[in-house]
Chain A
Amino acid sequence: NAGVTQTPKFQVLKTGQSMTLQCAQDMNHNSMYWYRQDPGMGLRLIYYSASEGTTDKGEVPNGYNVSRLNKREFSLRLESAAPSQTSVYFCASSELALNTGELFFGEGSRLTVL
């Protein structure tokens, strides 16, 4: 049982480059989330998708775009990377409507922007 899978695990970018972080879950969850985690800042919500076909901004959406490709997949795109986007990115999924709402995380994607 894979749970939540993120790719890539590590990435180094130059300022201005673009990239997409991929996330897939195999638990048939409706809700998916993208967080970033920085030292001293805790976990901050970037975007979330309450269900297939919907996306909403979280606390820190600037500089990011998302796509809920289908029920399983939720991608995060950096169009023009900046050093301030150096962080660890976590994807998570949950089923609030039909279940206990337990949140499951991927292993994280560590991004460095030079």
Chain B
Amino acid sequence: KQEVTQIPAALSVPEGENLVLNCSFTDSAIYNLQWFRQDPGKGLTSLLLIQSSQREQTSGRLNASLDKSSGRSTLYIAASQPGDSATYLCASVNFNKFYFGSGTKLNVKP
């Protein structure tokens, strides 16, 4: 069974810093990997999706990379802002099932 791990569980940074969130998975036979954002009391919003044949995807200040051979994905956030404060989750798709990490709770201090 796929296991997805996100470390650290929580991260606090000052506004303006560039930061990297990590996601690791045990089975490299993934269909895709997706990053989500969840605000308190809200649902999950899709940020970026990387298909298994791709190495990275970019959207604005966000860049997600995928290295299947090492079982890792990273989400890079440039010039962080207080509005980026949320919980970030990654999920891999293996054999038609989604496997979620437990998330990294990000706090960007003004």
Contacts and interface: CB of A to CB of B under 8 A. Distances in A.
Given A102-B34, A107-B43, 12 more contacts: A31-B96, A42-B100, A43-B89, A90-B43, A90-B44, A92-B44, A96-B31, A96-B93, A102-B32, A103-B34, A105-B44, A108-B42
4 shortest interchain CB distances as A-B pairs:
A42-B102, A105-B44, A107-B43, A105-B43
B89 to A, nearest CB: 7
Interface residues of A, number: 20
Interface in A76-97: 90, 92, 94, 96
A100 B54 CA distance: 12
A104 interface: yes
A8 to B, nearest CB: 14
Question: Which residue, B44, B91, B96, B102, has most C-beta atoms of chain A within 10 A?
Answer: B44
B98 A33 contact: yes
Most chain A CB within 10 A, of B32, B42, B51, B96, is at B96
A100 B42 CA distance: 24
Contacts of B44: 90, 92, 105
B71 interface: no
B93 A101 contact: yes
